[in-house]
């Protein structure tokens, strides 16, 4: 659909374009504005995707002439509407960068295997919470090495104390997870169908 001008900035600045390396491996996510710049400078080509049987790299000169399909986002320009790509290929980039997952409650929970790090009990997401091993009130930081997943009851029992002060013992020393290929950390947050061939849901 062609968007009205007051929606243009919202679409242009939303991270919704998947970037593949030249081997078609997912390496990053960019905004449409960044994707247009990459395509216009021939750093990337857009992928025209019509199901799994029709995937075609398209240069910038051709991209700006593609028709707008009903399901497409588009931006209005002086030359008319231009389709917003969903996937682009960085034509001269072959690496797969490694990344650590973003530090958040979900990442800590996954690292700790959904287990309370004081009791070993497997927890549902609503039964656990983040615990600062060295409490924030005592200078503890939000860091992989200072955060663990703990049962809410254990977290309340520990309070603003160190584990040993509360009669608790950690099952293991918390550490930053191993860096993973970027493709393993990219999530299809917007549910873009064309991404499903390149990243896990």
Model pTM above 0.95: no
Is there a contact between 33 and 12 (Cβ–Cβ < 8 Å)?
yes
Name all contacts of 130-133 with Cβ < 8 Å and 24+ positions apart.
130/105, 131/155, 131/158, 133/162, 133/163, 133/170, 133/174
Class of domain 105-166: mainly alpha
pLDDT band at 3 (very low <50, low <70, confident <90, very high): very low
Composition of the chain by helix, strand, coil, percent to 5? 30, 25, 50
Q: Which of 193, 188, 179 is nearest to 26 (CA)?
A: 188
Token pair 């049962």 is found at 151
Angstrom distance (rounded) from CA 20 to CA 73: 20
pLDDT band at 79 (very low <50, low <70, confident <90, very high): confident
Q: What is the pLDDT of residue 10?
A: 64
Angstrom distance (rounded) from CA 69 to CA 53: 18
pLDDT tens track for 17-32: 999 999 999 999 999 9
For the chain, the domains span 5-98+181-197, 105-166
pLDDT tens track for 94-149: 888 777 778 999 999 999 999 999 999 999 999 999 999 999 999 999 999 999 99
């Amino acid at each position: 659909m062609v968007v009205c001008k007051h929606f243009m900035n919202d679409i242009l600045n939303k991270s919704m374009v998947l970037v593949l390396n030249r081997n078609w491996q997912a390496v990053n996510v960019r905004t449409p504005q960044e994707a247009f710049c990459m395509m216009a400078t021939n750093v990337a080509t857009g992928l025209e995707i019509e199901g799994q049987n029709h995937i075609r790299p398209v240069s910038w000169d051709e991209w700006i002439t593609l028709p707008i399909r009903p399901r497409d986002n588009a931006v209005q320009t002086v030359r008319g509407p231009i389709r917003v790509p969903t996937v682009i290929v960085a034509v001269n980039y072959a690496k797969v960068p490694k990344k650590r997952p973003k530090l958040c409650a979900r990442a800590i929970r996954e690292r700790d295997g959904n287990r309370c790090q004081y009791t070993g009990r497997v927890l549902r997401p609503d039964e656990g919470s983040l615990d600062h091993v060295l409490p924030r009130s005592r200078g503890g930081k939000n860091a992989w090495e200072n955060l663990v997943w703990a049962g809410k009851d254990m977290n309340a029992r520990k309070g603003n104390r160190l584990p040993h002060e509360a009669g608790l013992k950690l099952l293991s020393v918390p550490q930053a997870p191993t860096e993973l290929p970027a493709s393993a950390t990219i999530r299809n947050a917007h549910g873009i169908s064309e991404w499903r061939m390149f990243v896990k849901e």
